[in-house]
Amino acid sequence: MNIWGKVPLAWLQLTRYKLRLLVAIMGIAFAGILIFMQLAFLDSLYDSQTALHRRLKADLILINPEMKTLANTIDFPRQYLYRILNFSEVDSINYVYDGQLSFRYGNASGGKGIIVLGINPDNCPFEIPNFEQVSHLLRTRGVVFLDRNSNLKEYGNMLNELKLGKTITAEIGNRQVLISRLVEFAGASFADDGNIIVSNATFSYLMPDHSADNITIGLIKLKNDVDIAEIINKINALLPPSFKAITLTEFIEHEKHYWATSAPIGFVFSTGVFVGFLVGVIIVYQILYSEVSTHLPDYALLKAKGYKHRYFLKILFQEALILATLGYIPGFIFSLELYEIVKNQTALPMHMTLTRASFVLLLTILMCFTSGMITVNKLREANPADIF
């Protein structure tokens, strides 16, 4: 049995007042765009803030337990990491120095600063394509690599010159450096303009007050077929009470949790999704309410001829489904264009996913059906006695 019945009546009612239908479609599309953008910003926030984490070559991570996010780092003694080499299950260790400094090229400077990552060029802790072929260049103090995916729009022709293979001079933290190469890395985030890869020696040159004995991230590679839970318990027993080794997945979730619960920006984007949904409900309710009010005498006449209340409910929810479909399509298309604009202007990871597209479609249908459920009260006013 087809619970929807025949659709043409609902379609004819909606298309009778074409201007009203156009306004409804635009309103639903606007609500959809708002939801699409807020969800994209929220995912972009999580993706950009954890892009560096996902490139780490490690099974376990050691960080200062007081550090909530890599956007605000807190170091810890390197000796804690070296203690872990005592375990036979550990294959190797590595570490990263992390700091944020100002960045200037010519007369241009970025607003959020740039992340400086100090590493051992001969043992890179990150997954960076073709890094081994150029890593020897970092051995010279003052030579750095720039993240190709950084937000570089404020720096004029710098990117074009680097693409031509030129070595250019820039200023990081009031000290001159030579940018030798572009590398494919984590990109810009909401907290910074991008990343600079340097050697440990260059990191000390750029941050002279930083102690080389303190590191930001400790990386632990385990041998094959090691019981992860067991080795974590052993490591944690060896470390000071407040320190704990965590898996790489837990490290990523640790960062996401901060931005979702502690940082205002995560709350703002989540609230924006709810606001977009609420706006859509109000818009669709007004349209459906107007439709029902306009055709109330017609519904009363049909009731007098024996049509049941559920028949009119079908028409109402058919209209809601039609509005959801017609409003979703332009909202989806405009969102794709806006994603590209934001991506080009901010260097943030803005892209459409099948999961998000499906989720917003379901939200749009739910939004319209919610409005339909509210409008049902008006539908009950169709009384056959009123026509006599």
Helix/strand/coil (H, E, C) string of 335-350? Answer: HHHHHHHHHHHHCCCC
| pTM: predicted TM-score of the whole model, two decimal places | 0.79
pLDDT digits (tens, 9 = 90+) for 22-50: 988 998 999 999 999 999 998 888 998 99
Distances (CA, A) of 349 to 110, 253, 345, 353: 19, 18, 11, 12
* Domain spans of the chain, in order of start: 8-49+264-387, 66-243
**Predicted local distance difference test score (pLDDT) of residue 288:** 81
Are the beta carbons of 114 and 207 closer than 8 angstroms? no
The arithmetic mean of pLDDT across residues 195-220, rounded, is 94
Percent of the chain with pLDDT over 90: 46
The string of pLDDT tens digits covering residues 246-297 is 999 999 999 998 888 877 888 888 888 888 889 888 888 888 888 777 767 7
247 neighbors 60 (Cβ within 8 angstroms): yes
Residue 1's pLDDT is 41
Q: DSSP assignment of 251-290, as one string? A: HHHHHHHIIIIISHHHHHHHHHHHHHHHHHHHHHHHHHHH
DSSP string, 13-81: HHHHSHHHHHHHHHHHHHHHHHHHHHHHHHHHHHHHHHHHHHTB--SEEE--TT--BTTB---EETHHH
Asked if 345 and 154 touch (Cβ cutoff 8 Å), the reply is no
> Containing H/E element for 114?
strand 114-119
Q: Which amino acid is at 78?
A: R
First to last CA, the chain: 35
Residue 316's nearest CA partner among 225, 241, 377, 388 is 377
**Residue 44 token pair:** 């972009």
pLDDT value, residue 385: 53
Predicted pLDDT at 187? 87
Q: Does the pLDDT at position 2 exceed 50? A: no
Confidence of residue 131 (pLDDT cuts 50, 70, 90): very high
At residue 202 the predicted structure's pLDDT band, cuts being 50, 70 and 90, is very high
Model confidence at 218, pLDDT cuts 50, 70, 90, reads very high
CA 236 – CA 214 distance, rounded (Å): 19
**Is 194 within 8 Å of 117 (Cβ atoms)?**
no
Per the model's pLDDT, the better-predicted residue between 210 and 162 turns out to be: 210
Could you count the other beta carbons within 10 Å of the beta carbon of residue 298? 13
